[in-house]
């Protein structure tokens, strides 16, 4: 093959950059009923080249969906105290130095990079609102009714409110390990949630019912697949699914097998804690109370 042929061949196979109209068309083709709130998890780079970048994706989402919500989590606010409740998947007193690096949450604190640049772009939209949880805030457009449900004791309440209104989840180039709503299914199934501490308003605030590991969440795929609508936009695989089916599938799965959706990392503090508690429960051992140690 000559250099010229190679170049032509590359031009034929190389996907064209994605534009606003293509995104709008693709989002409209998803079976999400009009008016339903949509929780979006995204990776911009998964699309390949997008003309206008994250602004284009966020603009197309806002154009097509009545209300959109994105995770704008901020883990840099977390501190680890010297002591606390048992079975909390944390090594107390282990991060005295790291605690000094922690930052106080403020309403305009940028979302962690892990949330993706599209989520951060939605957060910065002039009409966006953001909830006030120092670790697990959500931002959204026309989504105040969901965001305002969040409490320090119920970080997943915005997802529960979207579930009540027939909400959907949209995964743009990310898999179920980014699918935060599965944590709500865990919570409803009675899975162990954790207590965390974060810096906010000159205080250390206690955040209860905090979910933890999602590394094992792709095991939900074969069960949820019948309810998932899949599409391809550019290089990205797009998955849309109703919150109701996602959360009920998760809840039933964990109620049938309390170790379902745990990850296989041998050093995972959270999944190992759940396994330990399940064994303890099977052996009829009463878990220690909050005040006892050891
Ligand atoms: Zn894990």
**How far, in Å, is the centroid of ligand 1 from the Cα of 186?**
13
> Ligand 1 mean position to 212 CA, how many Å?
8
- With bands split at pLDDT 50, 70 and 90, how would you rate the model's confidence at 287? low
Question: Is 173 part of any domain?
Answer: yes
Residue 186 forms part of a structural domain: yes
Question: What is the pLDDT confidence band of residue 97, given thresholds at 50, 70 and 90?
Answer: confident
214 in a structural domain: yes
pLDDT of residue 282: 87
Task: Calculate how far, in angstroms, residue 77's C-alpha sits from the geometric centre of ligand 1.
Answer: 21
CA of 238 to the centre of ligand 1 (A): 25
Tens-place pLDDT, residues 170-182: 999 999 999 999 9
Structurally, the chain folds into a number of domains equal to 1
Q: Kindly state whether residue 7 falls inside one of the protein's structural domains.
A: no
| pTM, full prediction | 0.92
* Residue span of the structural domain in which 37 resides: 17-282
Upper half-sphere CA count for residue 243 (Cβ side, 13 Å): 24
pLDDT at 233 over 60: yes
According to the model, what pLDDT value does residue 293 have? 44
Q: Are 261 and 216 in contact (CB under 8 A)?
A: yes
201: CA distance to ligand 1 center in Å? 31
Look at residue 291 and tell me if it is in a domain.
Answer: no
In a domain, 117, yes or no: yes
Span from the CA of 287 to the centroid of ligand 1 (angstroms): 21
Is 147 inside a domain boundary?
A: yes
């Amino acid at each position: 093959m000559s250099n010229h042929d190679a170049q032509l061949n590359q031009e034929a196979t190389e996907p064209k950059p994605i534009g606003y109209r293509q995104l709008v068309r693709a989002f409209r083709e998803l079976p999400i009923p009009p008016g339903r709130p949509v929780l979006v998890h995204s990776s911009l780079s998964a699309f390949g080249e997008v003309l206008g970048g994250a602004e284009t994706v966020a603009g197309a989402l806002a154009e097509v969906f009545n209300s959109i919500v994105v995770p704008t989590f901020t883990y840099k606010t977390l501190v680890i105290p010297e002591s606390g409740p048992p079975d909390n998947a944390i090594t107390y007193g282990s991060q005295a130095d790291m605690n000094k690096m922690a930052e106080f949450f403020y309403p305009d604190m940028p979302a962690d990079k892990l949330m993706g640049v599209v989520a951060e772009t939605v957060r910065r939209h002039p009409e966006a609102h953001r909830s006030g949880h120092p670790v697990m805030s959500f931002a959204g457009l026309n989504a105040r009714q969901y965001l305002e449900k969040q409490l320090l004791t119920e970080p997943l309440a915005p997802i529960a409110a979207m579930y009540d209104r027939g909400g959907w989840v949209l995964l743009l180039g990310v898999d179920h390990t980014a699918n935060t709503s599965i944590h709500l299914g865990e919570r409803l199934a009675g899975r162990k949630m954790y207590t965390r501490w974060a810096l906010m308003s000159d205080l250390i605030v206690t955040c209860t019912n905090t979910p933890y590991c999602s590394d094992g969440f792709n095991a939900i795929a074969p069960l949820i697949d019948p309810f998932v609508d899949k599409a391809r936009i550019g290089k990205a695989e797009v998955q849309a699914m109703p919150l109701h089916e996602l959360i009920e599938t998760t809840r039933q799965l964990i109620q049938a097998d309390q170790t379902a959706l745990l990850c296989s990392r041998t050093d995972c503090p959270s999944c190992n804690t759940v396994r330990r508690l399940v064994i303890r429960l099977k052996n009829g051992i009463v878990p220690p109370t909050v005040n006892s140690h050891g």
